[in-house]
Amino acid sequence: MVADVDASASPYTPANQIPPELDILIDFVAADDRPTLILNHATTEIVYANTAFDAFVATASRTSTPATWCSSLLDAARSAERLDPRTTHELGFFANQLWSARSIASSWIAITCSLQTHAHRPPEDAPTTSSDKKALAQSLLADTIPLQRQESDNLSTTSSSTCTSSLEAADLDAPLEDLIIDWLLFPKPSADPWLDLILNYNWQDTSLGPIKSWPTILRQVFATILASREPRVLHWGNEMHMLYNEQARFVVGELHPWPLGRPIIDIWGDAVRTELVKMIKTGIKKGKPLVQKNYELNLTRNGFPESCFFDLVFLPVPSPDGRYLGVLAEFTEITEKVLQKNRQDVSKSLLQSFSKVTDLHNLWQVFVNSLQSNARDVSYAVVYTSTESLGEQRADTFQLEASCNIDNPQKHLSSGIFEALKGSVGEVFVLQRSKNTLPQDLTVSQSEAGSVNTAYILPIMALDGLRILGVAVLGLNPRRAISPSVRQFVESIRDMLFKTAALFSLPTEQLESREIAKALSQQLETMTMKAEETEQNFTRMLRDAPIGMCMHRDDGRCVYVNDVCLDLLGMSRAQFYKAAEVGLAWRDAVHDEDFEAVNQIWSSAIEKGTAASAEFRVKATCSQASEVRWLEISAQQRHDTDGNLEYLYVWLRDISTSKQLAEQRLQDALETKRRSEVFIDMVSHEMRNRLGAILLLADSIVTSLPAVSNDVQERVLTPNLRQTLSDIAASIHLCANHQKVIVEEILTFSRLDSNLLVLAPEKIRPSETVQTVLKMVKAELDYDSIQGSLQIQQSYVDLAIDNVALDPGRLSQIILNLMTNAIKFTKNSSERRIVISLAASRTRPTADDCQVTLVAPREDKRPKLARRMSITNDPVGENVYLIFSVRDTGCGLTPTEMGHLFHRFSQASPKTYKQYGGSGLGLFISRELVELQGGQIGVRSEPGEGSTFAFFVETARIESPPEPPSAQLAQTSIKDHMRVVDGPAAQKTQVPDLHVLLVEDNAINQKILAQQLRKTGCARVHVADHGLDALELLSTTTFHKFTGIEQIPLSIILLDVEMPIMDGLTCARRIREYEKAGEIVRHVPIIGITANARSEQIASCIDAGMDEVVTKPFRVKDLLPRMLALVDQHNSAV
């Protein structure tokens, strides 16, 4: 047995010195995996530490310093000397682990760590042998854990520098959790007498018992209030045992320290306990701390009981499961604030009373009457008066004039006071009992406050300074200390008395003062009557107002509510006031979906004092109606002079009708919009279909002429006849194109007027867009022998404009409108030239930058007209402005004619239509489109000198590698452009290779278009009347998977959108579904044909599976290149 002990014993005590009675215990502890120490109870010397403890010290030294946690652990054990041997006592967390102690045979203390075995596994580089681990533990503990308790030297005189150096010597990386801050659980020597009193107090005689037996949360709360420098009182448990800090000692006064730990009923009696319980329950019911303002306490300070005022806040202390454990009372002294307000009230009362004074005799009586009910500063008041001159005045010449709150005052002024008056020179002076200057008759005993020990003497001099009109003696409240504020208050009273008495001190002035007083009295009476009448009118207005009104205090309680408010909420007055006591008064009336928002607004108005308004619904059951009622709430605050919320005014208004009208207007607007879209689509469809047929017929005539010429003899078809037929076909083309322009303008105007126009910005190069427009009008330019060109200005080159975000369709439409006008006015001129200019600017251009007179934008419509739809995902850069101008050498315009431009259905002059045609909408639409893009448009012209139309638009760069325009682009002609655009490699697919399926329900359009395609040389043109026919024919073509039946070739489908039985959108979707299912073996090129040109409708065609979309009317010669390009694109992908 001895050998076993030697093998496992700690190095702290030699094995042969271990007491024999510990042999069995050490055998048990040595084999335990938990770190364990055994201390001598008497010397607190470490007798034994097991191997697990050595390993734990080695492991813990890597994360924390043993000097910190080991010392704290032993201090905790030494502080717990009186351990109950029947229980295990928790010492706390040290080195992030829980340690506990237990007394053994009253002579030893066993300290154990509650760890699992794996928690003590040493690190890889830790000592591996038992002797190594013990040596490491011994070396770590030798400098940190004293084997015997050391007495500190002069703890109370340790300097701050010593403390600082001690802190610097400690390991600052030690965990804060290892520090002991609960001085009640682990007391240390302290220089604080109050803490010593608490630690040495006989708690065993109280119901709470010893501190070590207290619940943890009680000890923690008490330790917290002991550290506070503000008065704090804790009432614990159902019996409300009283605990307080040193600053709150005044609460119990001379009873201290007996109330510590005792029930409140034993200290103050059942009445106080009942009142306190009522206050606590009221605060808990409201869900917030209870505040008691202006609470008066009589405290012994400055050697006498002093009346003091406090604001109290009662904070409940919850248990871990949320139940009541106690209440903490916080005191904030406001004595000076309360007294200052009381003095202001006294001064105000005196001023009001003095305004009614009629003579000196009445003044003194009014003065004492006003002070009679204001005794916080003044206990009594006595006034003595004299009619003698200053040289003849004696003590007995001053007779008692008026008094209050004093029994049997002296009939004449005391000689002591009179002698003091001689040296006061009319100033206020003080008589004190402690200095034997206060006469015995003025030492008046107050029933509760005690005897008056101090009096202020106020001599009231005549206006001429030759005599003393009166002497006012004011006895100071025995519970009020002499202070500068008291003296200032008394001197202000003296000043008011002096000024009022001066009005009556001279005979000539006496009558005037009476008149003034009488006038003031009458004025006050009139104002009072008016105030009462105003109050009555205001009350009547609140009662009869057509809106709901109520007024609440800062705690939410209702002060007033009118009948309209109750009717709107569907509540009775009793229900409303009852609900207001526990929170939001109309909680049960608010619709469930709106309650959270209303509650937040209410809380914000109460807590933050901010004005608020909102709309909410009232439940149908509360509004006594089947429909839901909408109310609008507005809240406004009223604050007192200190800025604290005093009242909350609330107005309620029924807005159900407004809501219904707004909803109806919205539905009407949506229906109007829907009808407008349907109308526009219908008109567009019908017009474009007919125009398409006209253009196709005209093309048929033109293409038929060569064949007719070859088949008919020259004598039958003369050159004149052939020219006539060509002219007729050309005229049809011109009329159709003219009608097409008008249709486009009317439809665009309709969309603008109905707010249906959509801008779709995308990534474009502006110069390429302009060149595309030039290409579109090339035929007209060539026909009228007009030279058209594009000029790139230097500002455009300097800014390196490349890709920008613009709607190319709308930009082209503007330029095309201006070009069409320029062609019309230039084709008859001797010099025929049109130049499009392109410039750029970082700032918004001016009229000088554009070199035209700009038309003011219609600002009232700009934010409402356009809906923008971005179809590019490219990053957007800085904003820039692009400036476009179209300059022609036409006939020019007069100032009067220019004034008619840019208005709907308006032209320069009546002869314009007759000579040049047009609808008068082109420039108006151009203006609208320009302004929708953040720009302006304008014109400059001289008769006979030509015209310049210019506009600018706002856009943004699209971030991409910059490719500055070549210098050669600075002057580009239309012919140069045509060489660039029309010069790609020859198409792989030729027209004779095309096998076309035309799907069109209109028999005329189908016949004409099929003929035109065949005349162009297409290999074969198949026709179908609707989508089902098209799908049936498609199943027999080479696109379909081989079924053994001979398949016919097919290159492309021209698919109309609007058709009976199966429309084009459904047909396109079916084709794409068959492709995914494998029934169609390769992609079928589809070009959609539609008379509906809105961007949403075109987008729906693309979404349905069509590759491209063309809008009616169109010409076959323009359609064929797109067909060939689409076929080539998908053939190359195979």
CA distance 702 to 727: 9
- Range scoring the smallest mean pLDDT among 114-128, 566-580, 896-910, 991-1005: 114-128
Mutual angle of helices 130-142 and 66-79, in 10-degree steps = 80
Contacts of 509 (CB under 8 A, 6+ apart): 502, 503
Residue 136 pLDDT? 39
pLDDT in tens, 307-358: 888 888 888 899 888 888 999 988 888 888 888 888 888 888 888 888 888 8
pLDDT tier at 179 (50, 70, 90 boundaries)?
low
Instruction: Supply angle C-alpha 415, 474, 398, rounded to 5.
Output: 35
Structure-model confidence comparison of residues 610 and 2, the more confident one? 610
Nearest to 144 by CA among 75, 236, 55: 75
104: helix, strand or coil:
strand
Mean pLDDT of 674-686: 67
Phi/psi of residue 175, nearest 5 degrees: -60, 140
Q: Is the pLDDT of residue 137 over 60?
A: no
Q: Is the pLDDT of residue 542 over 90?
A: no
- Prior bond to 1113 cis, omega within 30? yes
- Range scoring the smallest mean pLDDT among 7-16, 218-227, 680-689: 7-16
Structure-model confidence comparison of residues 628 and 475, the more confident one? 475
Residue 1029 pLDDT? 93
CA distance 645 to 662: 37
Residue 780 pLDDT? 81
Task: Report helix, strand and coil shares of the chain as percent, to nearest 5.
Answer: 45, 20, 35
Residue 720 pLDDT? 66
pLDDT in tens, 902-916: 765 444 444 443 344
Mean pLDDT of 1068-1085: 94
Give the rounded percent of residues in the chain with a pLDDT score beyond 70: 73
Query: Is the overall model pTM greater than 0.75, yes or no?
Result: no
888: helix, strand or coil:
strand
Highest average pLDDT, of 142-156, 806-820, 966-980, comes from 806-820
pLDDT tier at 79 (50, 70, 90 boundaries)?
low
CA distance 825 to 735: 18
Residue 171 pLDDT? 53
Contacts of 819 (CB under 8 A, 6+ apart): 773, 774, 777, 788, 834, 836, 886
pLDDT tier at 869 (50, 70, 90 boundaries)?
very low
Mean pLDDT of 790-797: 93
CA 920 to chain centre: 51
Residue 1088 pLDDT? 95
Q: Is the pLDDT of residue 658 over 70?
A: yes
pLDDT tier at 984 (50, 70, 90 boundaries)?
very low
pLDDT tier at 754 (50, 70, 90 boundaries)?
low
Q: Is the pLDDT of residue 679 over 60?
A: yes
Bridge partners, 633 (sequence order): 614, 652
- Range scoring the smallest mean pLDDT among 380-384, 534-538, 962-966, 989-993: 962-966
pLDDT tier at 7 (50, 70, 90 boundaries)?
very low
pLDDT tier at 11 (50, 70, 90 boundaries)?
very low
Give the rounded percent of residues in the chain with a pLDDT score beyond 90: 15
Q: What is the mean pLDDT of the chain?
A: 76
- Range scoring the smallest mean pLDDT among 88-92, 108-112, 790-794: 88-92
pLDDT in tens, 363-417: 888 888 888 876 667 888 999 988 777 667 787 788 888 988 888 888 888 888 8
pLDDT in tens, 821-838: 888 888 888 889 999 999
pLDDT in tens, 913-964: 334 444 456 788 888 889 889 999 999 988 888 899 999 999 999 876 544 4
Write out the H or E segment, with its range, that includes residue 838.
strand 833-841
CA distance 182 to 808: 78
Nearest to 680 by CA among 759, 761, 745, 760: 745
Domains of the chain with bracketed CATH:
2-151 (3.30.450), 193-333 (3.30.450.20), 338-505 (3.30.450.40), 545-654 (3.30.450.20), 661-733 (no CATH), 757-981 (3.30.565.10), 991-1132 (3.40.50.2300)
CB-based contact 606:556 (threshold 8 Å): yes
- Range scoring the smallest mean pLDDT among 171-185, 585-599, 957-971, 1009-1023: 957-971
Residue 173 pLDDT? 61
578: helix, strand or coil:
helix
Q: Is the pLDDT of residue 1051 over 80?
A: yes
Q: Is the pLDDT of residue 605 over 60?
A: yes
Tokens 């904030």 label which residue? 332
Highest average pLDDT, of 123-132, 145-154, 556-565, 617-626, comes from 556-565
pLDDT tier at 1033 (50, 70, 90 boundaries)?
very high
Nearest to 140 by CA among 331, 12, 237, 230: 12
Mean pLDDT of 564-573: 82
Tokens 């909102």 label which residue? 614
CA 307 to chain centre: 47
